[in-house]
Amino acid sequence: MTARTTSATTATVNSPRGASLEARDAVLRYGDTCILSGTTVRVQPRVVTGIVGPNGSGKSTLLRALAGLASLDAGSVSLDGVPIGQITPKIRARRIAYMPQASSDHAFTALELVLMGRYPHMGMFQMESRSDIQIAEDAMQQTGTSDFASRRMHELSGGERQRVSLARVLAQQADVLLLDEPTASLDLQHQLLTMMMARQQADTGVAVAVVLHDLSLAARHCDVIYLLDKGRVVAEGAPWDVVTQPNLRSAFSVDAAIEPDALTGRPSVSLLGIGSTDETTSDRLPKRVHIIGGAGSGRDLMHRLQLAGHTVTSCVLGEGDADHETATRLGIQHVASAPFSVITLEQDAAHRKLVREADVVIVCEMAVGPGNLRNIEAAVEAKRLVLIERQSGAEWDYTGGSAETVYSGLSSAGETVRRDAVVDTVNTLY
């Protein structure tokens, strides 16, 4: 028992938490297909590194290469500057813990699988010590898998197996954690817990790399993000440097609204639609589009219309209003006002000037009260007017009928369309 305990303790002492793992100019081919093409990625201690990209971009192959499980055709992988091929498999397993995408569904019990994470720290034919068992049980407690420790892996759900696999790599107590889509099969609670555990590991000095599909999750929890596309790193850096509209359009062929997360201030992604690669078609002549909205009713249109190449302006917006925040961040000209204040004559005049300068004015389906009534009154000066269709029976007029009267006149003068048809309507206007 003494020898076993010493073995587990010595392994911990001889492997100080935290190491730098780097793939430099990595090239890997499967037959005629190039999976990695000159890829350079660094995984640093105390840093949660996110690896994102579309399907087939090389994310999982890169992680396997970092773990020393895939042989490169060119380039190198090194751990603390030592080529990974020069490190024995056992030492490598002590230093690097790798969690693959697919979770095991064999006949081992959950506890037996987690204890496999202790094997690199044990001698040949050595049984698990009490210390090893305690480490495994602690890892299962962390991942919420203690209740099914004695159940067979093939009896567990995909998400439960995923959490047991995470417990195994935690029990490994390695200097580097490589996690391939650890949240893929998990519910929302366990997605959050998994990413919080990644952060906790990094805070102890461990270097953590996580492959993720959820860009908002990656932006919220990762310090550094690498965006892969066709085996190349096409963007790297802090979340705001990587999770951008141009990067998402280029790599994923989608248009997206990138807004600050309400809790962390980091990027949060809302998909707007499939991105177009044709920016200059004859039916998409750039126009000056003015949006009358508020309380978030114009946010998605600001993003969509800018992405379509139009110059966007907006109305009188109170500081702190969701539309005001978006307009400010996107550089959209508007008239700022104090929060919850009535639009002044001076602000109304500035707004009407923007209305007259616009090729088309869009009136959103926002609520109207005495404070913002002048916003929709200004729409009478529009050259072309588009109103977004309101839901039948929705309450929106808080002026005692004045807003309804104004809106009826606008409806007669303009075109009413569904929200999802606004951008196409603007694109085809001449």
Query: Element (H or E) spanning 28, and its range?
Result: strand 21-30
The reported pLDDT for the residue numbered 36 is: 97
Helix, coil or strand: residue 367: coil
Predicted confidence (pLDDT) at residue 282 exceeds the cutoff of 70: no
Angle between helices 299-307 and 322-330 (to 10 degrees): 20
DSSP 8-class letter at 147: G
Detail the DSSP E strand segments found in 360-401: 360-363, 385-388
Give bridge partners of residue 152 from the DSSP assignment.
109
**Look-up: residue for tokens 């073995």?**
7
**Look-up: residue for tokens 């206007």?**
429
DSSP 8-class letter at 422: H
Confidence of residue 317 (pLDDT cuts 50, 70, 90): very high
90 token code pair: 């056992």
CA dihedral 164, 165, 168, 174 (to 10 degrees): -140
143 token code pair: 């991942």
**Residues 302, 291: Cα–Cα separation, whole Å:** 8
Helix, coil or strand: residue 425: helix
**Residues 127, 105: Cα–Cα separation, whole Å:** 24
Average pLDDT for 234-251: 95
Predicted confidence (pLDDT) at residue 176 exceeds the cutoff of 50: yes
Predicted confidence (pLDDT) at residue 315 exceeds the cutoff of 50: yes
CB 177, CB 169: distance < 8 Å: yes
CB 288, CB 359: distance < 8 Å: yes
CB 90, CB 51: distance < 8 Å: no
Helix, coil or strand: residue 198: helix
Most confident of 128-132, 278-282, 313-317: 313-317
In order of 2, 111, 192, 242, the CA distances from 218 in angstroms are: 44, 30, 11, 11
pLDDT tens-digit map of 177-198:
999 999 998 999 999 999 999 9
Q: Tell me the pLDDT of the chain averaged across its residues.
A: 90
H helix count then E strand count, the chain? 16, 18
The reported pLDDT for the residue numbered 1 is: 31
- Pick from 75-84, 115-124, 136-145: least confident: 115-124
pLDDT tens-digit map of 222-233:
999 999 999 999
What percentage of the chain exceeds 70 in pLDDT?
Answer: 93
Predicted confidence (pLDDT) at residue 327 exceeds the cutoff of 90: yes
Whose CA is closest to 180, among 99, 62, 67, 105?
99
308 token code pair: 């379509």
The reported pLDDT for the residue numbered 230 is: 95
pLDDT tens-digit map of 65-117:
999 999 999 999 999 999 999 999 999 999 999 999 877 677 899 999 999 99
Confidence of residue 284 (pLDDT cuts 50, 70, 90): low
**Residues 50, 35: Cα–Cα separation, whole Å:** 19
C-alpha atoms less than 13 angstroms from C-alpha of 339 in its C-beta half-sphere: 6
CB 419, CB 387: distance < 8 Å: no
The reported pLDDT for the residue numbered 279 is: 43
- Pick from 103-107, 350-354, 414-418: least confident: 103-107
What is the sign of the dihedral through the CA atoms of 281, 282, 288 and 290? Answer: negative
CB 178, CB 101: distance < 8 Å: no
Confidence of residue 129 (pLDDT cuts 50, 70, 90): confident
